[in-house]
Amino acid sequence: MLAVHFDCPGGPENLYVKEVLKPEPGEGEVLVKVVASALNRADLLQRRGKYPPPQGASEILGLEAAGTVAAFGGACEGRWRLGAPVMALLSGGGHAQFVAVPEGHLMPVPADMTFVQAAAIPEAWLTAFQLLHFVGKVEEGETVLIHAGASGVGVAAIQLVRLAKAIPIVTAGTQEKLEATANLGAAAGFNYKTEDFSEKVLAFTQGAGVDIILDCVGGSYWEKNLNCLKTDGRWIIYGLLGGGDVHGDFLARLLAKRASIHTSLLRSRDKEASLGITSETLFFRQYKERLVRAFTRTVLPHLRGAAGAGLRPLVHSVYPLHRIAEAHAAMEENRNIGKIVIEMPP
């Protein structure tokens, strides 16, 4: 099969497509013929040598994919039929013509959705769902500040906050991105390049601050985040685009607000016991499988391929596999509003 490869860490120019062995599905795995995959910041970090795949995962880039069921490994439970349209959450391997996926990490593609649209869902939407519900425990009426509101996770989070009957507000770096987030349901948006978002957030919330912050930036935002976080608020860090260094009276100010910090990485989660899930039938399932099941049950029925009522993925651009370097360059330049999708050759 064809797959994306790089011989040494570096820039997008290091990427190329080569022929590699097609994976064989193992116990409890399903082989998926990939039609489309999507690009994530983690792919850029892995290409630079800063984010190696978890032990045992494919070294091929790609954390999500959509396609059709091609074969089964042993001990599968028969949830899927050959040829079924599916989308998959991956630990790696999505930027290739075939990928082996644990059976419980697959989701059906909604009937009115293309494979390109479906490829924009698994990593971004499951990350946002996890941050809001498994980690942040969002409640009706709460206000959620979403940094990078026009990113794949941001686009999903805005809509999921609305689905939870809470209030999403965002930061972004251009007026075009702020307008796009408003169209998706953001109650307010602030340009972090031209204004102090913490002051704007406090003005919007009439001085109260926000209940939850979804933060993929990290260190460079710590003071402004604490300024606009409500007392007893939850600050959820899932990326460090602005670095990991924190200086000054960080802990004192955090303590004064009785705030809690949570951190989360979805890719590295594997066979973890459940803590605090109420259903006995899910208690000892893998974390990702529980997450996929919860998402499939509560969110997937609301996702639509066509514009109009319901939730929808937002695809910014589509690149064929042989132009993977251009796709990486586009993401590094922060040009995208929504997801960049990669199409496989037939």
What three-state secondary structure class fits 226? helix
Token pair 């960080």 is at which residue?
A: 250
* Structural element, H or E, at residue 29: strand 29-38
Beta strand 229-237 with 210-215 is: parallel
pLDDT of residue 6: 97
- The percentage of the chain sitting over the pLDDT mark of 70, rounded to a whole number, equals 92
pLDDT of residue 285: 43
Selection from 74, 110, 107, 86 nearest residue 34 by Cα: 86
Distance of CA 33 to the CA centre of its chain: 22
pTM over 0.85: yes
Residue 124, amino acid: A
The Cα 97–Cα 35 span in angstroms is: 7
Rg of the chain taking only CA atoms, in angstroms:
20
329 Cβ partners below 8 Å, 6+ apart? 12
Query: Is the separation of the CB atoms in 337 and 150 below 8 Å?
Result: yes
pLDDT of residue 252: 77
pLDDT of residue 88: 97
Residues of the chain with pLDDT below 70 are 219, 241-244, 267-285
Query: Is the separation of the CB atoms in 229 and 239 below 8 Å?
Result: no
pLDDT of residue 95: 98
Domains detected in the chain: 2-124+275-343 (3.90.180.10), 136-263 (3.40.50.720)
Length of the chain: 346
